Structures are given as structure tokens and as C-alpha cells.
Amino acid sequence: MKKLGIALILLVVLSIAGTHFLENWLSQRIPEILNEQKDRDYDLIFEEINIHLLQRKVDLHAIRLVPLNDSVNTKVNGSFRDISMSGLDLLKIIVERKLEINELKIVEPSLRLIQKNKKGNAQESSMAFQLLFQDIISRGEIKDVILVNGTAEFFTDLDSLVRIGQFTDLNLNIHGLKTDSALIKEDIPFRLESLEANLKNIEYAVNSNQQLKVEELNYNSQEKEMTFKGIGFTYKKGILAALKQSEHQMDLIEFGVKEFKLIHIDTQSSIYGDLSLIAGLATIDSLELIDLRDKNKPRPSEPVKPMFEGIIEKIPFPLRLDTIRIQNSKISYQEIGEGNTQPADLSFENVSAELYNVLTTDSLQQGKTMTLNSRAKLRGHADVEMDIQVPYGNDVFQLEATISGFNLPAINELFAKMGKFRVDSGILLGLRLTMDAQKYSSRNTLAFDYRELKLEMIPDDDSKKGLNTLINSAANLFTSKENIPNSTNYKTARYSTSRNVYRGPFNLIWESSKEGLMEIVPVGIARTFIGGRKK
């Protein structure tokens, strides 16, 4: 019994000694394995390592990420609070110098991305993070990856570092990762069973004046959905301040979106490298868009603006969306007319729309037609419906639009600022516009049904009030008081509108509408005063 007791004590001592020796040996071996790949772009340097043999687990603490390649345009450095490697195959470490891990957990990574190129963009930043992730997981065979509470800041290296963006609260949960297929191009560039990702407080400086913010982003690969919440594309000092600073007349645009969701994302999509997006449905909830222009400023030397098909084709990556659905939205075109200081607001509220067949690839466009069906309220007073057909291949479109009846004086603020007149009385019974638009012009038909119409011209100069009274009398004398279907003098307008090729297709719709109204309402001298069709 005495000998057995001594043997047991020796066995325990040897086990403890062996365990201590093996832990010390692994403490030396694991750092070597982590940083021994010749083609790695980063070193992982840590202050403390804890080996838990019985649990087959290794914990690294206070890790620094050190980039090795100074020649790349975009690089990442930073630190991780902890890295835990669970379910280690100790035999493979000892015999094959190879890490095989059931779960890799990265806790509180704090990263700093620096772009040397002034033209660096968000896609390049995304690619840099993907390459960093690939560099880390390629150091072993890993089944699952968990990343907790990551943060990052983006900088451009000019004469000094300029901060251009950030994100916080990055959390990743990846299952069934196969790192030997890391270069396969899917929705993310690794083969895996599932990925859940979310991050918050995304900010990116588009340029020195504009910024993009996203409150939260969520992605679920099994559900094939990606959701963006709280999107804002704004001018840093506000759109009115940006308008004052601009030297030329141009459209300034700001928008916000409560939620943007992509559903049924195809595995051919990629947000890395060669960006592409293929999905069955995109939903946009509570879009608020402002388009502001000051017509008092001189026009710049502008390029020719495309029509609807050209706008889609300018998207710089392959895009295929079967349906885009918009709801609960507001679109506002604001224009400061010549001689005015305050903008007129042509706003559409309660906007809902469906857009079908949004395709950027020529092979997909063949024989297809992009279709827009939309409904809205004009300044909260009248129902507006608009259907647009865009057959791919010819850069043309067809439009049908209707406006329901309402009291015209309700939008006198718009008439006063954009048309230099107001409506003393008048009831719109209905408006119907059809357009067949080509590259340089459109053929239009407009029906404008109204009754009890009385106009008042607004003088540019208060000293000419007497002349203005005469003009008002003449305008109303030569203006039809009503235009009712089946009446003797009922008129519809059939006319052509020349397109201003330096403005977009919505400008052509707006100008065609105004020209049709001038054909029907002001006749004779009134058309001259109100400003009828430009020949």
C-alpha cells in the first residue's frame, strides 16, 4: 500500500509537472503558429496567454494588430481586448503545428482604418475589413466565429490624418465556417452555414460637405435579409447653407429613410471587391427627400443628363431588384424662382410606389420593361397617381398621370412663387396627362377640367399696381372660367415639349405639365402675362 501511495503521488506530481511543461510549451508554440504564415498581412501581438488544457481552450489578452504591408493603399491597425480559442485539437498543434478550433471569440476589437488615397471610398474600406478578417481566420481551421462589441474609425492620410467615418457595436455570429473555401464569391466571400451581423452608428463623409449616417444595420444569411435603419444623407451645415455657398445653379439633395430592407438576397450578391446586388424585394419605409434648386444662380457647364434608363445604367455595379416598394414617404421639390429669396415647395406626401425590374446589366435588360406605379397627395390636398413604363434599350419612357379634384386656392403659395399669379377662386375637377417621351422631346396630351376660375397676377413692382389691375382684368377677360367635359367649349391639349437635356426626366414631366396648362387656361393676352409655352 505504501508503494502504491508513493506511485500515486509520483503520478500526480508528474501529471502536474507535465501539465505545467505542456502549458509552457504551448505558450511558446501557439504564438509562433499564429504569426508564421509568410503571406500574412498582420501580426497578432499579445501581452498575456492562458492555457486551459482540460477545457482545450486558450485565452489571449491585450492583443495588438500590427500591419506588415506598408505598400497597400488601405490598412487597418488596432487592438482586441481578448481572443478565446475553444475546442482546440491539442494533438494537431503538437504534431502538425496546426490550429483546429471549434470556436474563435474576439472580444471588443477596436480598429483604425487609414486610406492613403484621397479617392478612397466606403467600398474600399469594406474590402479592407474583409481582407483583415480573412487574414485572421486563415491561421487555422475554424468552425464558428463570434465577434463582440467591435468599433472602428476611418481616416484619410493627407498632410495629417482626417477622420472620415466610424461604426460601433459590431457583433458577428458565424456558424459552419469553411476557411479552405475563403475565395469563393458568395454574399460574403467565405463558405458558411449561417451569418448574423449587426452594427450601429455608421458614419461616412461622402465629401467635405456631405455625410451619410446609418443608425443600425442587420444581416441574416439564413433569412437572406439585410436591414438598414435610420439612414440620413445630409449636408453637414444644412441644405440651405450649402445652397448659399454653391456658385452655380444645381439640384441639391438630402434624404432620410426610417428603414430600408433587402429581402431574398441572392448568393451571387457581394458587398466586397466587385460589388453586386441581386435581391427579390427592396422595401423603403418613410423616405423624406428634398431636392432644392436656386434659379437665381448662373448655370454651370453641365453634362447632358440621362433619362430613366440612363440613370439606372449609371449605377456603378451590377444590380438586379425584382421589386422596390416605397411607403409612408414624402418627396419635396423646392425651387427658388428668379427674383425670389424663398423656395416654392412642390411636395408630395403619403407617397407609395412599386418599381419593377430595376436592372443594370445589358443581358438582363433585353426585352424587359422597368415599371413605376406610384400614388401620393399633392401638398396634402389632391390624390396623384403616376404610372411610368421604361422599355430597356431605347432611352424612352411613357407616362400616365392623374390628379383628383380640389380647391385650387389651397395651393396659392405654390402658384405665387412659381407662376407669379394666384387663384382667387377655382375648383379642379381632374387632371390627366399622358406623355410619350423621347431623348429630346415628348408628345403629350393633357386634360384639365375645372370651373369658377378667377386669376390674379402678382406684380413684381408695387409701384405698378394700377397697371397690374389692368393686367388682371385683361387676363380674366381672356381666360376661360371653366373647362368641363361635354361642354361646348371643352378643350384638351395635344402638344410637344422640347426637353432640356441638362435636366433630368422629372423636369421634362414638370415642364410638359405646365405647357399643357397654359394651352388650356390662359388664352390670348393672358398667356403672355402668365408666361405660356416657350417656342
Q: Give 322-354 pLDDT, tens digit per residue.
A: 999 999 999 998 888 777 788 888 899 999 999
pLDDT of 46 > 90? The answer is no
pLDDT of 238 > 50? The answer is yes
Please tell me the distance from the alpha carbon of residue 516 to that of residue 492, in angstroms, as a whole number: 8
> How deeply is 32 buried, as exposed, middle or buried, from its count of CB atoms within 10 A (0-12, 13-18, 19+)?
exposed
pLDDT of 394 > 80? The answer is yes
Give the contacts of 72 (CB within 8 A, at least 6 positions apart). Answer: 41
Instruction: Give the pLDDT of residue 29.
Output: 79
Taking CA atoms, 228 is separated from 66, 172, 293, in Å, by: 32, 16, 29
Residue predicted with more confidence, 187 or 143: 143
**What is the three-class DSSP state of 528?**
helix
CA neighbor of 187 nearest in space, from 138, 226, 217, 213: 226
pLDDT of 179 > 80? The answer is no
Query: Residues 449-468: pLDDT tens digits?
Result: 999 888 776 665 554 554 45
Among 34-38, 112-116, 425-429, 474-478, the minimum mean pLDDT is found in: 474-478
User: Regarding beta strands 210-220 and 225-235, do their DSSP bridges make them parallel or antiparallel, or are they unpaired?
Assistant: antiparallel
Please tell me the distance from the alpha carbon of residue 373 to that of residue 400, in angstroms, as a whole number: 10
Question: How many other β-carbons are positioned within 10 Å of the β-carbon of residue 256?
Answer: 16
Query: Residues 135-178: pLDDT tens digits?
Result: 888 888 889 999 999 999 999 887 788 899 999 999 999 998 87
- Report the range out of 302-306, 419-423, 453-457 with the highest average pLDDT: 302-306
Residue predicted with more confidence, 6 or 167: 167
pTM for the full predicted model: 0.86
Instruction: Give the pLDDT of residue 463.
Output: 46
pLDDT of 1 > 60? The answer is no
Query: Residues 249-259: pLDDT tens digits?
Result: 888 999 999 99
CA neighbor of 338 nearest in space, from 428, 270, 249: 249
Give residue 186's pLDDT band: very low, low, confident or very high (50, 70, 90): very low
Instruction: Give the pLDDT of residue 89.
Output: 83
Please tell me the distance from the alpha carbon of residue 315 to that of residue 287, in angstroms, as a whole number: 20
Instruction: Give the pLDDT of residue 391.
Output: 94
Give the contacts of 418 (CB within 8 A, at least 6 positions apart). Answer: 335, 337, 344, 346
Among 81-90, 265-274, 481-490, the minimum mean pLDDT is found in: 265-274
Instruction: Give the pLDDT of residue 182.
Output: 43
pLDDT of 530 > 70? The answer is no
Instruction: Give the pLDDT of residue 459.
Output: 62
Instruction: Give the pLDDT of residue 373.
Output: 97
Q: Which residues pair with 435 in a beta bridge?
A: 399, 444
Please tell me the distance from the alpha carbon of residue 439 to that of residue 387, in angstroms, as a whole number: 19
Residue predicted with more confidence, 120 or 116: 116
> How deeply is 495 buried, as exposed, middle or buried, from its count of CB atoms within 10 A (0-12, 13-18, 19+)?
middle
pLDDT of 189 > 80? The answer is no
Please tell me the distance from the alpha carbon of residue 269 to that of residue 112, in angstroms, as a whole number: 27
DSSP string, 242-292: HHHH-SS---EEEEEEEEEEEEEE-TT-BSSSS-BEEEEEEEEEEEEEEEE
Is the distance from CB of 231 to CB of 256 less than 8 angstroms? yes
What is the rounded average pLDDT of the residues 283-300? Answer: 92
Instruction: Give the pLDDT of residue 301.
Output: 81
Give residue 184's pLDDT band: very low, low, confident or very high (50, 70, 90): very low
Give residue 118's pLDDT band: very low, low, confident or very high (50, 70, 90): low
Please tell me the distance from the alpha carbon of residue 258 to that of residue 285, in angstroms, as a whole number: 6
CA max distance for the chain? 129
Please tell me the distance from the alpha carbon of residue 417 to that of residue 291, in angstroms, as a whole number: 16
